Structure 1
């Protein structure tokens, strides 16, 4: 067992464990710790608590100090420097005619490095840009290419639901989302309806997937053959939430409308299955 504190370096970012030594800290306290990037100022997301050694993936680094007023002022100064660095970098990108979009700039707390985050459709040869930036800022320069989901998380915004992006408001890490989830949830496979502002599948498809997976175990799928109180038929539509089925009965005329039954009224003979054909897979591959 080990006593830890959880520290977050971005407003909605991953929480890292550190050794608090003999300090008692509360949520929201600012602290200075050493990371792979050097000294960093973070916010306590998890106050002192004891965790099992199995939860610690590497040796805990100790807390350096609780942030002082001087540290916080230095952090504010870095934020102002980041704005200037962003403007200068944009000018340099235009000068070198590079096909890349600058997203964000970060100074490490000790000013030993400046990180420039950008998006691009493919690989970019930015070696000349790095040399140019190094000559201006006289410090280590690092350019990192990020994906569109990371861009949305950094910049924030409003989703189609009218609320702030999940990734920018409470999601620490992205969860895998697939087009199969949209299919199993009976959603319209329209890119406009199932993709977020970032252009990828909406993260919220993951939230209820566990419930839909469980419902699918007990609900005949479209294409299933079932016995109903009025005879055998083919399931042409199901409503997982309501627990109802629309069944095309074998003993009715070809043009007769399907009849509705509850799942409890029907006995499964042969289940159907959910599949994506090759054309659908190719069409939605870029959304995942």
Structure 2
């Protein structure tokens, strides 16, 4: 994600906002929401909505009530109420759109127990907050070492300090229940702060840490995806993908969320498509389906006795044969239908003349060059042999005695 003012300069810093990815427009932040109501004025007599959305470290967002009617806008750093002390975060959404987000996340905006926004953060609040953020990596490393010494089967993935530095939340993942009471005692003694342990799933861990996916873009879960739907291997089967866990799994170790993106399109195309288990009965024998191409509406069949020889049929032809088989009629052979397909000439929309779009064009052996080198070496050796023979003949002539007159 990136806003229009965050293009990179020569020194690697953002050229426009100079805020290292936390610009005031909230265009390059995690799970950003576009405020499409920002340029619209409220009707007469309507008061602005008194709740705001505040983002803390990574993807953690919470809603707070603006009881003092502070003039807040997106990008303002504010001090908010916490269970004990105060926290510091950045405003990511204001106005009527906050009410829509609260309904979407099932948060009651009429609840009077919502935490409040104290004030806009002062410079001392920001300095203390940045100092605490600077200690997080060191404390996370030491906490991992303590967990290893106690032989705890857990992975501490992230640490988040409260804005006033009085509390730290440790996010961890584990396969089973972990007894970390001794770990909390050791960390509280070593760091002199209050400790809170919070278990998260592997998808939530990838959401918090972020990263680059196999597609080359930032992870969907850390940029815009807010709900994690279950992904099953049937989604890969419907899309005819190879069931290779190394390719289908994301950085969280689970199946990629993007497998669900095009699943509805495939299911819609498969509604009137013959099944993969379809059998065609011909006078030549029974034919089985070997391969299907959903978007080209093409199927490949082979006889039971000759599985290596495939015949290409269209979806309509297969349905026609199935209709005859349903009436207990057998067609002559599949070759008749495959011959009809060979007559149709496909229109080529693009023809690669130069071959520059091939990814494997540099892998081809350069036979012409090797042949030229081989001929050069052969000619060089032949010339060398000829010169050697001439030198031998000259030497033999010099050694031969002169004839008497």
Q: State the TM-score bracket (shorter-chain normalisation).
A: 0.7 to 0.9
User: C-alpha displacement at 1:201, in angstroms?
Assistant: 0.7
Query: Which residue number in structure 1 is paired with residue 230 of structure 2?
Result: 176
Q: Which residue of the partner structure matches residue 193 of structure 1? A: 247
- Which of 214, 233, 245 in structure 2 is aligned with 1:160? 214
Change (3 A) 1:237 1:26: farther
Q: Please report how far the alpha carbon of residue 245 of structure 1 lies from its aligned counterpart in structure 2 after TM superposition.
A: 2.3
The answer as to 2:142 corresponding to 1:88 is yes
Superposition deviation, residue 224 in structure 1 = 4.1
> Deviation of residue 88 (structure 1)?
3.0
**Do the aligned partners of 2:125 and 2:164 also contact (CA within 8 Å) in 1?**
no
Q: Does 1:34 align with 2:87?
A: no
Do 2:129 and 2:164's aligned partners in 1 also have CA atoms closer than 8 Å?
Answer: no
Q: In terms of Rg, which structure is larger?
A: 2
Instruction: Tell me what 1:281 maps to.
Output: none
Q: Are 1:220 and 1:238, in contact at CA under 8 Å, matched by a contact in 2? A: no
Q: Distance in 2 between matches of 1:14 and 1:118?
A: 15
Q: How big is the shift at 1:71?
A: 2.2
Q: 2:65 aligns with which of 3, 16, 19?
A: 19
CA contact (8 A) 2:128 2:164 kept: no
Greater share of residues in strand: 1
Provide the rounded CA distance (Å) in 1 between the counterparts of 2:268 and 2:60: 30
Distance 1:29 1:210 in 2: 41
The answer for the alignment partner of 1:278 in structure 2 is none
Is 1:6 matched up with 2:60? Answer: no
C-alpha distance in 2 between matches for 1:5 and 1:181: 38
Q: Find 1:260's aligned residue among 313, 316, 329.
A: 313
SS at match of 2:197: strand
1:286 is aligned to none
Q: Does the CA-based 8 Å contact 1:105-1:116 persist in structure 2?
A: yes
Aligned length: 262
8 Å Cα contact 2:80/2:86 also seen in 1: yes
Gap change, CA 1:92 and 1:215, over 3 Å in 2: same
Superimposed CA distance per residue, residues 11-70 of structure 1 (whole angstroms, 9 cap, x where no aligned partner) = 3x2543333453443332222333567633222222322536855522254432223322
Unaligned runs of 5+ in 1: 271-288
- d(CA) in 1 for partners of 2:83, 2:264: 36
- Quick check: 1:37–1:108 contact (8 Å CA) kept in 2? no
Aligned partners of 1:39 and 1:110 also within 8 Å: yes
2:177 to 104, 123, 129: 123
Deviation at 1:203, TM superposition (A): 1.8
User: Which sits farther off after the overlay, 170-179 or 44-53?
Assistant: 44-53
Cα distance in 2, alignment partners of residues 264 and 64 from structure 1: 69
Q: Map Cα deviations across residues 104-126 of structure 1 (whole Å, 9 max, x no partner).
A: 21212233422222334433322
The alpha carbon displacement at 1:189 in A equals: 0.6
- Stretches of structure 2 lacking an aligned partner (at least 5 in a row): 1-45, 324-405
Following TM superposition, by how much is the alpha carbon of 1:191 offset from its aligned partner in structure 2, in angstroms? 0.8
Q: 1:223 maps to which residue?
A: 277
Map 1:105-144 → 2, pairs under 5 A = 105-144=159-198
TM-superposed CA distance for 1:79, in Å, is 0.7
**TM-score when normalising by structure 2:** 0.55
SS at match of 1:78: helix
Q: Deviations over 1:195-244 (max 9, x none)?
A: 123321112112222322322324333224689xxxx976543323x241
Match in the other structure for 1:57: 107
State the secondary structure of the residue aligned to 2:264.
helix
TM-superposed deviation, 1:266: 5.6
Which range moves more in the overlay, 174-183 or 252-261?
252-261
Tell me which moved more, 60-69 or 29-38. Answer: 29-38
Does 1 or 2 have the higher relative contact order (CA < 8 Å, sep 6+)? 1
1:194 offset after TM fit, Å?
0.7
Structure 2: distance between partners of 1:27 and 1:209: 36
SS at match of 2:178: coil
8 A Cα contact 2:172 2:200, kept in partner: yes
